Amino acid sequence: MSLQAGSIAARDAAAILHPMVNPGVIEDRGALMIERGKGVYVWDNTGKQYIEGLAGLWSTALGYGNEELAQVAHDQILKMSFTHMFNGKSHETAMLLAERLKTLVPIENASKVFFGCSGSDANDTQIKLIWFYNNAMGRPKKKKIIGRVKGYHGITIAAGSLTGLAPMHTQWDLPLEGGRFIHTDCPHHYRFAEKGESEEDFATRLAHNLEQLILKEGPETVAAFIAEPVMAAGGVLVPPRTYFEKVQAVLAKYDVLFIADEVVTGFGRTGNPFATNTFNLKPDTMTLAKALTSSYQPLSAVILPEKMYGPIAEAGRKLGTIGHGYTYTGHPVCAAVALKCLDIYHRDGIFERAARLAPKFQARLRSFADHPLVGEVRGIGMIGAIEFVSNKQTKAGFNPPGSIGVYCFERCHAHGLIPRNVGDGIAFCPPLIIDEAQIDEIFDKFSLALADTLDYVTREGLLAA
């Protein structure tokens, strides 16, 4: 596709700095202009239909055009379109949502909920609250936060420093200097296990490495560890067996807080309300966003336990003001939509539906395991990915890295499917309202794109001998 002068794509390219893309692609070919959506389908500005294979951006659990959510937003705008929460003001809708979330999340003694607009700002809030908490506890040196290589926690300056993906650091002067943001191993067994190393042994080694990192930095300086239960943008990396059990033992040993980043995995994605349930995690705090409103409104939440809130509140009494907040914290329209989302999840058994559909989804996903281009198939619940290799025995990738992932991604578009390319691979995360026939549609279309990709790789002689 090339840009046609005066077209909507050309005007878009001339006006918008696009996120997470090579600007040259936009300048040369333009963006895919999505015009409307309904259910699990979207249409571009030419009228072409696509099945949504990534729930928007890992987020539209209820699909597109839900009339109940639209009506709630309409009614709330007419009732009270906006009020802020600064200087002692609040409103019932945010209060009701916070009450509901406290009862849903698997956080021991969940005390308070702080609302923001995105997963990025929520993880910034996590950082600030943890720093404030340790100051209040008389531990001013306990400020370092450990992320993981290939982890994704947002792209603001602080959250981007937690993220462990090179494109979010290169040329951005991230991670921030000062040593407060450090990274430990990526728990991807397929790529990083030693020869003959079982998942359990790999997990033991990574937990040992984490402990050694904490000891090297000094336990008195390490405040928290942040992890996605399933690493989404890093490639849908499912933790190896016993990994979190062993990691959590290390965190407890050195009094390091555990932040569960459930921005992608929260609200049914793994077949349970939260992936924290799926993997039996015991986090201290939790970050939520995306499916909290099915992306119908921008909203995030940080769940704070009483053991952290108490010291923060006491320090706040002495200071007079806790200096943190956003104009749109607890926005009434966002909160109203989130409440309705939670109602629908419960009423329609959406989490249970995800659990029922997961075997079908995973079976279709894993049916590609023997394909000549496929190195690994991985996933859990209603999320998964397929990684391409040039040699199945050596696991060698392609050069330049990511090029075949992009090619297959574009062929998916050609066949009417929108997934996500993650390096040399394709990720899937459909709306949770999808049905079995539509799951087949996703993977049937992907099969066509994969055949095109194999033809291209063969024609270009890119398969390693």
pLDDT tens series, the chain, 465 aa? 578 888 999 999 999 999 999 999 999 999 999 999 999 999 999 999 999 999 999 999 999 999 999 999 999 999 999 999 999 999 999 999 999 999 999 999 999 999 999 999 999 999 999 999 999 999 999 999 999 999 999 999 999 999 999 999 999 999 999 999 999 999 999 999 999 999 999 999 999 999 999 999 999 999 999 999 999 999 999 999 999 999 999 999 999 999 999 999 999 999 999 999 999 999 999 999 999 999 999 999 999 999 999 999 999 999 988 999 999 999 999 999 999 999 999 999 999 999 999 999 999 999 999 999 999 999 999 999 999 999 999 999 999 999 999 999 999 999 999 999 999 999 999 999 999 999 999 999 999 999 999 999 999 999 986
Distances (CA, A) of 2 to 5, 7, 10, 13, 152: 10, 11, 9, 12, 32
pLDDT of residue 5: 87
CB distance 458 to 451 below 8 Å: no
pLDDT of residue 430: 98
pLDDT of residue 1: 56
Q: Which domains, and CATH codes, for the chain?
A: 32-65+350-459 (3.90.1150.10), 69-347 (3.40.640.10)
Structure tokens at 227: 């992890």
pLDDT of residue 446: 98
Place of tokens 């966003």: 289
Query: Omega into 175 within 30° of 0, i.e. cis?
Result: yes
pTM: 0.96
